[in-house]
Amino acid sequence: MHDGHSEQTLEMSATAADEPRRRFAGSGFGLDRFSGVYLWVLFIVVFGIWTPSEFLTSSTLHSVASTQAVTGIVALAVLIPLAGGLYDLSVGATANLTGMLAITLLNHGWAVAPAIFASVLVGIAVGLVNSVVVVSLRVNSFIATLGMSSILAAVLVIITGDASPVPPTSTAWNNLTQTTVAGFQIVVLYLIAIAVVLWWMLAHTPAGRYLYAIGGNAEAARLSGVRVKRFSTLALVLSSTVAGLGGVLFTSQSGPSLDFGPALLLPAFAAAFLGSTQLLPGKFNVWGTLLAIYVLATGVQGLELVSGAAWLSDMFNGVALIVAVALSVNRGSGRVRRSRPIRGSGVPVSGPSSPEQDAPGQPPPVTSARVTSTT
């Protein structure tokens, strides 16, 4: 979409510095930042023509909206640390643990509210442990949270005895997510509420500004007085909290399952990365992420209606993740300048590598060589 053309414009004016650049990327209705919207429209038109009786129905709309709501929440969870140049790969396992914990507690006779509260609290605790490992012990966030997700999977087996518990009978529990509002399950509203709060935080508060600064160049942020450790901690705790909430909502909506968490991880990352190429290109952003979630879901839904193949959604998400990262990396690498990863800044090794303008979408160690080369 944005090929060598825009790249070149950028590079030239970067040196000449005589004319504001980014006519392409920054303003107007360039294919670039709104490509997701166009793709979405394309999906709707194509499948609408192909199989109008099945695709163009309000039930399709409602089902796509609600089945993707929890995925959306988990995507927003990974978005927060990504903005700060950190990975949280433990969100899936966290969600799985808190969701199943809530059910286990309910089955032990807890009331709905305390069960949810305790479960989300566990999510917060996971975030605190993550941040101790990443921020204080300076373990690369990719590694730390990968390890954590394995630990959480083990804890899950301990709690459940590796047997799926019976679904709770409480109607309050089911209504938590399945009450319908204008045809949509209420969980969609939760997603929107969380999105609004995070959008406010990331785009309109100093905390958000600082997080992006850390993601862009942690050392420069630190020297500007940004409390890098504090905000890295905040990001990791928030992501686990949101993921924990997402897990509870998932089991309320879909019932107990021992392995839904890991399955949420990839679509969440795919959406966050794809989202970083949308609306505000080069920046992990809330609305871009939600757009990506629903564009992908619409495509998958349409293809499934047409072909009925069961492998479509995995294939789609995998391709989307790679394409998204390729897009964001290549935007950044058009220019040669790339600064070194920053050391000793509290944010680990891989974290804040390339403060190139469009590049934060290509966060740290996706080019994984860096993980090892800089330690």
Partner 1 sequence: MPQEHQHHPALEVVGLSKSFTRTRALADVSLSVAPGEVHALLGQNGSGKSTLIKVISGYHQPDPGGRVRVGARDLPFGAPVQSYRLGCRIVQQDLGLVGNLSVLDNMALSSGFPTILKTISPKRSVAQARRDLERLGLEIDPRAPVSSLTASQRTGVAVARALREDWSYPPRLLILDEPTAALPVTEVDTLLQMVTHMAATGVGVLYVTHHLGEVFRVANSLSVLRDGRLVGSGRVAGFDHDTIVHLLVGEELEAEEPATRVDRLAGVAHRSERPILQVEDLTGGALAGVSLEVSPGEIVGIAGLTGSGRDELLGRLFGSVPRAGGSVLVGGHALPQHRPDLAIAKGVAYLAPDRKTSGGVMNMTARENLTMPNLRPFWKGLRLRRKLERSRAAEWFERLGVRPAGSFDEPLSIFSGGNQQKILFGKWLSQQPAVFLLDEPTQGVDVGAKADLHHELRAAAMAGAAVVLSSSDLEELAELCDRVLVLLDGRIAAELSGGELTEASITRRFMPAAALPA
Q: Tell which one of 2, 33, 222, 370 touches partner 1 (CB under 8 A).
A: 222
Verify binding: residue 17, partner 1, rule CB under 8 A: yes
Verify binding: residue 88, partner 1, rule CB under 8 A: no
Q: Tell which one of 81, 216, 288, 365 touches partner 1 (CB under 8 A).
A: 216
Q: Tell which one of 15, 53, 58, 169 touches partner 1 (CB under 8 A).
A: 15
Give, to the nearest 10 degrees, the angle between helix 206-216 and helix 186-204: 70
Q: Tell which one of 86, 194, 221, 297 touches partner 1 (CB under 8 A).
A: 221
Residue 49 vs 137, nearer CB to partner 1? 137
The site map against partner 1 for 267-286 (x = CB under 8 A) is: ---------------x----
- Binding segment (CB under 8 A) for partner 1, from list 61-69, 128-136, 197-205, 266-274: 197-205
Taking the complex as a whole, how short is the minimal distance between the CB of residue 221 and partner 1, in angstroms? 6
Q: Tell which one of 7, 32, 88, 219 touches partner 1 (CB under 8 A).
A: 219
Verify binding: residue 209, partner 1, rule CB under 8 A: yes
Verify binding: residue 13, partner 1, rule CB under 8 A: yes
The answer to whether the CB of 299 falls within 8 A of the CB of 43 is yes
Verify binding: residue 204, partner 1, rule CB under 8 A: yes
Verify binding: residue 213, partner 1, rule CB under 8 A: yes
**Using CB under 8 A as the criterion, which residues of the chain lie in contact with partner 1 when the complex forms?**
10, 13-22, 200, 204-206, 209, 212-213, 216-217, 219-227, 282, 335, 337, 339-340, 342, 354-360, 375
